Structure 1
């Protein structure tokens, strides 16, 4: 005879078994995981994904591969993962700009950064840096020096960025707004051609990720006037931050993170997060990321979601102040 107490007990046991069923089924089916990247092979996002994929194999999945679907600044990859089955077999690796900046740049995106994805975890963080080349006199050694130089030489108001609508673009625009300088962005298709023009003396300055600039900086081909982190980077401890030089509004640390499609079972997300954390604790991964100017930065899904909310809240008003849209 079933009593109410027995009924509740059986119901609880059944619910517990049901909650474990998706994990069991997922574990049986997950022979491979595809990590989709919205940028070309060899780029920073691609390299982050590949370093993690190497450690995912045999851990989260029997095999993990990277699938590059470049185009529209990463939007194509985001849309692809949005529509993928929520079973752990498809993940997204992306810079945070696709999730926290693009909603304010594009009137319509093919995905919702919050509703369409389940955060898995942050993988790595990077800072931006400001580099000058031979066009800028050697006497310009700091950000205030640069501001004074541009005011005295208004024909040199151009600055390079790896893409319109990028964090690099917006840092240069914010510097112009704060100093009342009419700085003009020169957008490139990636950092490489812009850096080449700075080194060749074709443009005076370039904003891009610190890692992009490290080889040329170490070789003495360009100078770094500042970095965007809250603290100095471990890669260039001799270079002061923008905040140290009186420009705290330029403080910015961008991360690269992993997402699963929305409605992916929590236990699958947790398993992916644990595999990601394990990968980011591997010395070979840490060292290979450092070569790109990246710091391995493991997080929980909840910490990643909170960072996404905070960064979105910060960048919304800034993009509006700058006045840039994809149509402008």
Structure 2
């Protein structure tokens, strides 16, 4: 019932945004470039492409958007390019909130100011992260409490992977260990795929990453998702309880992918882009594409996104300080 209610509320919010009139522009842009700072084929890349594909023929753009992949530096390069881009709505960047809300607490010298250099445009999808274990961990381990007990008894193998040092999954795993007095060694990877491969192969005990990257192997019985990080259970693996249900409410994290424009982009252009994003994630073909990679359509206003960015920035500051991680550590 909780999952159904979550979708009803999300659908209602999206419908209201999609039904709002498109802002009047003198004329639509010819084309929009969407910068994305992570590898092609990843969940976020698919989200950027499917949403961008629906920009064409709207009040925002005559033609479909094109994705310009600028990988490297944990997504920072794409935002550096956006900072220097024309502030006319023709260039956007899509990014997880970690690049704006977590990185200022990690990097002493960040090449962009997440609040002064960009303007929020709108969210497109939401990620639930997951904790999964593979064959290195006995089949008797079925819950997060079981995993912590096993890790305490087997310190040599008590490690977890994440898609990158300084990523949200990295800190979820670190807080799980710290808050429960269990030492969990962090193993950073370059993206989710190599870490998931090592979990399935028995070289790594566990991994925390967007749970969509676990789903095929979970359903095939090659690994076991022990928990997901959403407020409600994931609609894609409803049999898996959340961290909160298992007594770890502090690990409730719903990370979004959102679009940003350079600072000083006209408000009318931001509003037109926001309307195009919200309309795109109402389309069944887009929803289906997101579902395949474990993403939940998640729209709203630009103000909603800006508020969420600030709230997450304030939430994660003391948590990252507690973990004691910086880019130099």
**TM-score, normalising length from structure 1?**
0.91
- Tell me whether 1:48 sits opposite 2:73 in the alignment: no
Structure 1 SS opposite 2:156: helix
User: Aligned partners of 2:42, 2:241: CA distance in 1, in Å?
Assistant: 26
User: Aligned partners of 1:161, 1:58: CA distance in 2, in Å?
Assistant: 39
Greater share of helix: 1
User: Aligned partners of 1:40, 1:139: CA distance in 2, in Å?
Assistant: 36
**Structure possessing the higher radius of gyration over alpha carbons:** 1
- Alignment partner, residue 90 of structure 1: 91
How many angstroms does 1:154 deviate by? 1.7
- Tell me whether 1:305 sits opposite 2:306 in the alignment: yes
User: Aligned partners of 1:41, 1:153: CA distance in 2, in Å?
Assistant: 37
User: Aligned partners of 2:300, 2:281: CA distance in 1, in Å?
Assistant: 10
- Alignment partner, residue 11 of structure 1: none
Residues 16-48 of structure 1: per-residue CA shift (max 9 Å, x gap): xxxxxx942xx26x2111011111211122111
User: Aligned partners of 1:152, 1:74: CA distance in 2, in Å?
Assistant: 37
Aligned residues: 304
User: Aligned partners of 2:235, 2:191: CA distance in 1, in Å?
Assistant: 24
Structure 2 SS opposite 1:155: coil
Alignment of 1:179-190 (within 5 A): 179-190=180-191
Q: Unaligned stretches of 5+ in structure 2?
A: 1-23
Alignment of 1:1-328 (within 5 A): 23-24=25-26, 27=27, 30-59=29-58, 60-63=60-63, 64-328=65-329
Structure 1's consecutive aligned runs of 4 or more residues displaced over 4 angstroms after TM superposition are: none
User: Aligned partners of 1:285, 1:196: CA distance in 2, in Å?
Assistant: 28
How many angstroms does 1:233 deviate by? 0.7
User: Aligned partners of 2:238, 2:39: CA distance in 1, in Å?
Assistant: 30
User: Aligned partners of 1:249, 1:180: CA distance in 2, in Å?
Assistant: 15
Q: Unaligned stretches of 5+ in structure 1?
A: 1-21
How many angstroms does 1:71 deviate by? 0.9
User: Aligned partners of 1:236, 1:312: CA distance in 2, in Å?
Assistant: 29
RMSD (Å), alpha carbons: 1.1
Residues 157-187 of structure 1: per-residue CA shift (max 9 Å, x gap): 2111111001111011001111111111011
Q: Are 2:122 and 2:260, in contact at CA under 8 Å, matched by a contact in 1? A: yes
**TM-score, normalising length from structure 2?**
0.91
Q: Are 2:152 and 2:183, in contact at CA under 8 Å, matched by a contact in 1? A: no
Structure 2 SS opposite 1:58: coil
